[in-house]
Amino acid sequence: MNEENFKQLVTDGLLALKAGGRVAATATDEITGAATDPELKSMLETGNETAKEWQTRVDQAMSETGASGEGENPILEAHYEVSKRIRDAAADDQTRDLGIIAAGQLALHYWIASFGTLKAYAGRLGMDQTVQAMSQSLAEAKQADEQHTQLATQIMG
């Protein structure tokens, strides 16, 4: 395997995460305004703060690869558009809140997969700072996913 090509793959992944963070910040601001459950609103605000930490870690990881610039993330951009349609189509507040949670979990699973993959790849390249950053972010994303499931169960009654 060509190590430079492999390193570029990690760099491209980090750039996609950086772009995804911008999409997520915009979406979370809108979603928080649409949510009605107080605990969901709080969870979204906490998630937004955690996402800012993820962005800081991604930036630090990018410095380890020597990467700079901005990337694109068509996956999260498309997910953002779908989540807006889900919110707009909700027949009532409870359904909207549950749709917000479901859409949030889909996004979290993207982050879980991305952090896990980049952690493994960075480990293969000996990029210890990136491994640590992705590990911490991965653990936080998994925890947030579990919290979303618990809240959805609570809202459903």
Spatial distance between the Cα atoms of 65 and 55, rounded to a whole number of angstroms: 15
Q: What is the pLDDT of residues 59-105, one digit of tens each?
A: 999 999 888 888 899 999 999 999 999 999 999 999 999 999 999 99
- Check which CATH number belongs to the domain holding 20 and give it: 1.20.1260.10
Q: What is the pLDDT of residues 98-154, one digit of tens each?
A: 999 999 999 999 999 999 999 999 999 999 999 999 999 999 999 999 999 999 999
Q: Which amino acid is at 119?
A: K
User: By C-alpha distance, which of 110, 109, 133, 105 is closest to 121?
Assistant: 133
- Cα–Cα–Cα angle for 101, 106, 110, rounded to 5 degrees: 140
Whether the predicted model's global pTM rises above the 0.85 cut: yes
Domain range for 21 is 3-156
